[in-house]
Amino acid sequence: MEIKSIGVVGAGQMGNGIAHVMALAGYDVRLNDISAEALEKAVALIGRNLDRQVSRDKISQAEKDAAMARIVTTQSLADVAQTDLVIEAATEREDIKQKIFDALLPDLKPDTILTSNTSSISITRLASRTDRPEKFMGFHFMNPVPVMQLVELIRGIATDQPTYKACLGVVEKLGKTAASAEDFPAFIVNRILMPMINEAVYTLYEGVGNVNSIDQSMKLGANHPMGPLELADFIGLDTCLAIMNVLHEGLADTKYRPCPLLTKYVEAGWLGRKTQRGFYDYRGEVSVPTR
């Protein structure tokens, strides 16, 4: 099927980035959130990010204006259900994602493809509770969406080939690269990345190094653009913990046991950049390690 309109559920960090790239690629976008304030903030942020692309001569002013005109915001899931492709980009909690899909089902068009931007939750399980498991996929963007080139496409056990090809076509139209992943806990990127971050937290927890020495070691010693603790703050420590729990529970291997220090930070509400404190404190002019 030809995809012309795209519904994005969730106007947070990932949702607004997905809406941005979809509108810029020529798709009509319906951006949904339960919060009117979140929708206003998302549209304003998309505008600022597009302005940055204009200032760097990545796109023209006319392209920016056309992209903004393609984005319609709505607090109604029924509006989103009438699109050709729905991308759920809500918080990384299965119960919330399931409620969203349950609410979408009564108003979906027969051919609408359902996808989730989940970074770790079983696509097969999410799909099995809908009326169209063959038209359900994982559509996992990397953060920040306008910058990162990779999209993981994850087929559930029932996903059919036309659905995969339709989603692959969208990725190609975005000018991004698709990596096909099988539906096992955390897929490819987070299956490798999150245990590395968790091990960095263990290295801190056990006193092998402090925040600065751990991040500097990986930046200068392994040529990583960002240290693992800095990256964890950027992703969100609650998200990192949620993915480690999915790996630990889904694969029943102790090597995926979340570090107690990571759990402690999440319990404290120190979730990284979004709360101004994580492994670094971002409340001043310069970020300062918290350990």
* Closest listed residue to residue 113, CA positions, set 158, 67, 147: 158
Indicate the pairing of strand 280-281 with strand 288-289. Answer: antiparallel
Residues sharing a CB contact under 8 Å with residue 45, sequence separation 6 or more, in sequence order:
16
- Whole-angstrom Cα distance, residue 13 to residue 173? 22
Region of residue 113 (phi > 0: left; psi between -120 and 50: alpha; otherwise: beta): beta
Q: Read off the tokens for 145.
A: 């969406």
Angstrom CA distances, 208 to 10, 104, 201, stand at 39, 49, 10
143 in active site: no
Query: Whose structure tokens read 């319990």?
Result: 267
Q: Which of 16, 122, 140, 230 is catalytic?
A: 140
**For residues 139 and 183, is the Cβ–Cβ distance under 8 A?**
no
Total length of the chain? 291
Q: Which of 92, 190, 198, 230 is catalytic?
A: 190
Q: Read off the tokens for 282.
A: 């971002």
- Whole-angstrom Cα distance, residue 230 to residue 102? 36
Q: Cβ atoms within 10 A of the Cβ of 105, count?
A: 15
140 in active site: yes
DSSP annotation of 41 reads: H
152 in active site: yes
Q: Which of 119, 120, 122, 198 is catalytic?
A: 119
State whether residue 113 is helix, strand or coil: strand
119 in active site: yes
Give the active site residues. Answer: 119, 140, 152, 190
